[in-house]
Amino acid sequence: MPRTGFQDQLETLREDVVRLGDLVVLRLRMGLNALDRQDHELAWEVIDGDDEINRLYLDLERDCIDLLALQQPVAGDLRLVAASFKVITDLERIGDLAANLGEYALYADRDVFADVDLRALGRHATGMVEDALAAYETADPAACEALADRDADLDAACERASERVVRDLIETELPDDADTEEVELLLQEVSRVLLTIRDLERVGDHAVNVAARTLYMVESDDRLIE
């Protein structure tokens, strides 16, 4: 790979990472909509679409390796490539979590825990991913640091939601003639709601990871990297 055009290649890498991120955010929104509406067709679209995210991830991984091996970048250029390598991994994992939402949507019965606002948790998590991507695209260190505080808010909201599900389960009064199948269906729904809450909390964690790698890329500051 010739050295000529190296800066153009770095800019293309940055643009392609953002393009992958935009697709992941779209799939995340689709997964949340599928869950909210119990829309099986949309759920399958999200599940099947994970293959496209995986292919784009592998393409970008190869681009990063080629840049490292053939251009041997240093200083800020090296941090950009290394950070992008890490960011695409977090984006691919968010894509997996979006596919999980599609899976949950195939079986969910939201009426059981109507008071648990999964939609609000989803908006919070999705907004964090969008803002982390914007921080990466514009190399904004202040936006990166703000993500950590928002993640604490999301963690607290997820914890409250999980407690609400468990409390509702304890207080649920099944009819005296409830059979084993009814109990099993209730427990499956509890499990799906708790898994959904956990996955949305993990989306927030990945958004913070994107911000942490971006902060290191911009300022060599590793305070947010765990």
Kindly report, residue by residue over 76-104, the tens digit of the pLDDT. Answer: 999 999 999 999 999 999 999 999 999 99
Kindly report, residue by residue over 168-208, the tens digit of the pLDDT. Answer: 888 877 777 777 777 788 888 889 999 999 999 999 999 99
Distances (CA, A) of 13 to 18, 200, 205: 9, 27, 23
Confidence bin at 109 (pLDDT 50/70/90): confident
Task: Give the pLDDT mean for 14-39.
Answer: 96
Residue-level length of the chain:
226
Q: What pLDDT sits at residue 112?
A: 64
Task: Give the pLDDT mean for 122-145.
Answer: 95
Q: What pLDDT sits at residue 2?
A: 46
Confidence bin at 215 (pLDDT 50/70/90): very high
| pLDDT surpasses 50 at 126 | yes
